[in-house]
Amino acid sequence: MRNQTASRAAAAALLIIAVSGVASAHTGEGAAGGFMAGIAHPLGGLDHLLAMVAVGIWGAFLGKPLIWQLPVAFPFMMVVGGALSLNGVDLPHVELGIALSVVVLGLAIAAAWRAPRPVALLIIAVFAICHGHAHGTELPEAASAAAYAAGFVLATGALHLAGIVFGLAIGSVAGKSILRVAGLAIAAMGVWIVLAMYGHVVDPPELPHLF
């Protein structure tokens, strides 16, 4: 049963990657910058990276069907958030929402919270819209919006898959304790990010730019 769940989660993540790859292939020449920028954004921001890995870890903890529903819902709602941004729809406190996503998802893992499916999906949807809106706001003016979206969906799917693999790999009794410690560490980093936003602590170290 566990192997079947893992296979389904991997298939869902690979589907995200495949769809984004097809999308990028149809964006035309000159869109490479937008595609690479879309990939680099979630990989280069600590808040984005932690939240997206946490989605996969929490999904792995919750099991089916959420193990594959969360990683599919997050990129989908990110695209919705990006579309809102590109169409001039302003959302308040987006950056705070992103930082809080790290805190909440980390605490959900640390507390081993088996949220009801509608609640888990609602939490994912709200935070994903914040992440997607930020992606859309930071879209380079000269970049292709379609290529940029394909890039960040690809990177998001890869990070979700990494979280799922990590969560399943340490799913033993001892591993669950380690998993909860990892969630606590993610939440603590999220608190640091929130405090840094208001100048109470120094900013967390920046991740190296890959592109």
Number of domains composing the chain: 1
Would 204 be classed as within a structural domain?
no
Tell me: the pLDDT tens digits for 132-151? 998 888 776 656 777 877 88
For residues 208 and 12, the model is more confident at 208
The pLDDT of residue 162 is: 94
Would 116 be classed as within a structural domain?
yes
pTM over 0.75: yes
Tell me: the pLDDT tens digits for 185-199? 999 999 999 999 998
Confidence tier at 10 by pLDDT (50, 70, 90): very low
Instruction: With a cut of 50, say whether residue 61 has pLDDT above it.
Output: yes
CB-side neighbour CA atoms (13 Å) of 50: 29
- Give the mean model confidence (pLDDT) for residues 163-179: 80
Taking the alpha carbons at both ends of the chain, their separation in whole angstroms is 40
Would 209 be classed as within a structural domain?
no
Measured CA to CA in angstroms, residue 53 lies from 16, 109, 126, 199 at distances of 15, 11, 16, 26
Give the three-state DSSP class for 149. helix
The pLDDT of residue 126 is: 97
- Give the mean model confidence (pLDDT) for residues 174-193: 90
Would 66 be classed as within a structural domain?
yes
Domain around 117: 2-197
Cα-trace Rg, the chain: 16
Tell me: the pLDDT tens digits for 79-102? 899 889 988 899 999 999 999 999
Would 184 be classed as within a structural domain?
yes
Would 180 be classed as within a structural domain?
yes
Q: How many residues does the chain have?
A: 211
